[in-house]
Amino acid sequence: MCLLALSAFFAAPVVAAECSVSSGSQSVALLELYSSEGCSSCPPADRWLSKLSTQGFSADRVIPLALHVDYWDYIGWKDRFAKPGFAERQREMAGLNRSSLVYTPQVMLNGRDYRGWGSAGRFASDIAAINRKPARANIKLTINQPGTGSIEVSATAQAPEQGSPVLYVALYENDLTTAVNAGENSGASLHHDYVVREWLGPYSIEDKITSPWQQKLSLKPDWKVKDMGAVAFVQNPTNGEVLQAVALKLCGDA
């Protein structure tokens, strides 16, 4: 039995709102889209990701995240959402897929390179197949908001008989728009959802009962809290396979 208590504090003196979610008995898929505002082939994938929730792919079926990479910044447009760590994550995941190839847009589904996202029928079938599988980890994600521009996110994770799994937590933001005036998408207005703003982990969920991980962070002024949420997922670090995932929108008005 593996257990971790995780807390990411955003200076919360008084709690005014609290919400939580626990993972269910069936598997929820985690979808990672590696994208860039400097990539001319990425906007269709960004639009596809934004439409998932309106096409019946709710957070109890599939949890999408958009990780913007920085390796296209050199061709003329600097993606304000890109982080070097996201490109590093993409390379690590490619390595676990026994590949040296990274590209945009690239979709990873439960830790595997996935090229079937362009086919609605295939995608629906593949998500349904994942959802039919029993969950191999249990996660509880809790958000506390004092209503003063601060937030506290906490999570517990258990993964019985799954070797040495690790936990990740991400904060994402929806409804983001950029007017691009250089590079391959010059002149375009790009809309993004599920954009990862903060990426925390990996954290071992072994032998952490008495020493939970804790970290303090700042809530950045350009984040629109009403459009944000948190995701927690458990992953096998040896092969990249995602064992379970949960998502929760921020509650209250921070």
At 144, the pLDDT band (50, 70, 90 cuts) reads confident
Is 12 within a domain?
yes
Using CA atoms, how far apart are residues 97 and 64, in angstroms rounded to an integer?
20
Is 254 within a domain?
no
pLDDT of residue 6: 52
Is 29 within a domain?
yes
At 3, the pLDDT band (50, 70, 90 cuts) reads low
For 149-188, how does the pLDDT look when each residue is reduced to its tens digit (9 = 90+)?
778 888 889 887 667 899 999 999 999 999 999 999 999 9
pLDDT of residue 161: 67
**Residue 146 reports pLDDT greater than 80:** no
Our count of domains for the chain comes to 1
**Residue 109 reports pLDDT greater than 80:** yes
Quote the domain boundaries for residue 87. Answer: 3-249
Is 200 within a domain?
yes
**Residue 205 reports pLDDT greater than 70:** yes
Is 202 within a domain?
yes
For 7-51, how does the pLDDT look when each residue is reduced to its tens digit (9 = 90+)?
554 444 444 678 899 999 999 999 999 999 999 999 999 999 999
pLDDT of residue 216: 53
Contacts of 222 (CB under 8 A, 6+ apart): none
The top-scoring range by mean pLDDT among 172-181, 197-206, 219-228 is 172-181
* Summary mean pLDDT of the chain: 88
Is 91 within a domain?
yes
pLDDT of residue 5: 53
Task: Label each residue of 94-121 as H, E or C.
Answer: HHHCCCCCCCCCEEEECCEEECCCCCHH
Question: What is the amino acid identity at position 216?
Answer: K
Q: What is the mean pLDDT of residues 55-70?
A: 97
Output the CA–CA distances (angstroms, integers) from residue 80 to 61, 172, 229, in the order listed: 29, 14, 19
